[in-house]
Amino acid sequence: MSNLILALESSCDETAVALLKDGIIIKEYVASQLEHEAFGGVVPELASRAHQRSIVPTLDRVMNRLETPLSSITHIAYTQGPGLLGALLVGVSFAKALAFSLGIPALPIHHLKAHIFANFLNNPKPSLPFLSLVVSGGHTQLIWVEDYYKMTILGETRDDAAGEAFDKIAKIMGFPYPGGIHIDKNSKNGNPKAFKFPITNMENFDFSFSGIKTSFLYFVEKQKKQNPNFIKENLEDICASVQYAIVKMLTKKVIKAVKYKNAKSVVLGGGVVSNSFLKSELNKESKEGGWKLFYPSNNHCMDNAAMVGSAANYILKNNLPIITDLGVEPKARIPL
Ligand code: KG4
Ligand code: ZN
């Protein structure tokens, strides 16, 4: 059966709305909150207030001048969590109230699963089962995905997320928040072997990124004592070297997990997937290993609502059980 899904995302610092017909985006908009930059990280209270201010204008921006009126929407999909509770509250309350007023079901969606199902916005779509690497500002997980409701965590970070490591290191270098993209951009002409940073190898499929952050801090402090302009004069080499270490920690575990599960496909999701070196390394590995690599376009790696709609469309098209209870609460943490 055909569906027209209005999807909402408000788990962190992006207020996003998307309209999808049978999993194909008709229109979408992501309102990014700029008020956190000055604080070097997301301030939860400011995020909640910004969602409150922008959720109606964002919806209006998507629906305005479309031939499809709100009354033709068949389902609302919204992020239930994980994320910042106050931020989620805005989207969840808004989604449920809108669904109630339209007399249609509201489907709660898991944010990390939505990052994975962002890959179903593209063609060809990955075939299940597959191995998924979800790497964002808050999460780093290797997941074996059999279906939307059947996911098993093979490994995860014991401390910082990969995006958090990028952001904390970028902050030490003086880049604005979120700094991951600045490290990526400034790496392009740098030598990844110029400086050596620790590539932590945890047991099994787990990750740890706190070591590299600490060693980076000591390294920079030591170098700056000898040359106060050290960062400025070596910017590209430093960025390329630190990016090399973070990406290697991720790719090593992906390769190990592919062999362990005999995976035919690897599906990437989350903001850090925008990183060009991560994608080029995994592209190389996939060719050598004979497996397929899938990743969303950069705008669908970062938080967005189209991925939430895509996950809901998958659930509906595959006749999986749906939750339509209007008593659903947002949750800061939800198991997969
Ligand atoms: O998935 P996302 O938009 O939000 C969360 O759910 O966390 O991910 C944001 C994270 C930030 O840590 C940001 O620095 C990182 O993704 N990121 C990058 C790049 N673009 C975004 N990290 C490395 N290289 C990039 N090009
Ligand atoms: Zn995210």
| pLDDT tens track for 277-331 | 999 999 999 999 999 999 999 999 999 999 999 999 999 999 999 999 999 999 9
Asked if 14 contacts 138 with a C-beta cutoff of 8 angstroms, the reply is no
DSSP labels for 89-115?
A: HHHHHHHHHHHHHHT--EEEEEHHHHH
Cβ neighbours around 316 below 10 Å, total: 21
pLDDT exceeds 90 at position 37: no
CA of 302 from ligand 2 middle (Å) equals: 6
Q: For a pocket test of ligand 1, which of 250, 302, 304, 333 has the largest count of ligand atoms closer than 8 A to its C-beta?
A: 302
The binding-site residues of ligand 1, defined as CB within 6 angstroms of any ligand atom, are 12, 136-138, 163, 166-167, 178-181, 184, 270-272, 274-275, 302-303
* 28-37 mean pLDDT: 93
Confidence of residue 40 (pLDDT cuts 50, 70, 90): confident
CA of 160 from ligand 2 middle (Å) equals: 15
What does the pLDDT read at residue 169? 97
Phi first, then psi, for residue 158 (nearest 5°) are: -90, -15
Question: What pTM does this model have?
Answer: 0.96
In percent, how much of the chain has pLDDT > 90? 96
Angle at 10 between CA 163 and CA 143, to 5 degrees: 45
Q: Please give the torsion angle defined by the CA atoms of residues 254, 257, 263 and 264, in that order, rounded to the nearest 10 degrees.
A: 20
pLDDT exceeds 90 at position 65: no
What does the pLDDT read at residue 203? 84
Helix (H) or strand (E) holding 221: helix 210-226
* 117-136 mean pLDDT: 98
* 261-272 mean pLDDT: 98
Selection from 94, 69, 79 nearest residue 19 by Cα: 69
Identify the DSSP state of 190: S
Identify the DSSP state of 50: H
Confidence of residue 41 (pLDDT cuts 50, 70, 90): confident
List pLDDT tens digits, range 156-200. 999 999 999 999 999 999 999 999 999 999 999 999 999 999 999
Identify the DSSP state of 127: P
Selection from 16, 102, 55 nearest residue 299 by Cα: 16
Q: Side chain identity at 288, as an amino acid letter?
A: E
CA of 70 from ligand 1 middle (Å) equals: 32
Asked if 25 contacts 306 with a C-beta cutoff of 8 angstroms, the reply is yes
Asked if 220 contacts 254 with a C-beta cutoff of 8 angstroms, the reply is no
The rounded distance, in Å, linking the Cα atoms of 81 and 334 is: 6
Residue 139 CA, closest ligand 1 atom number: 7
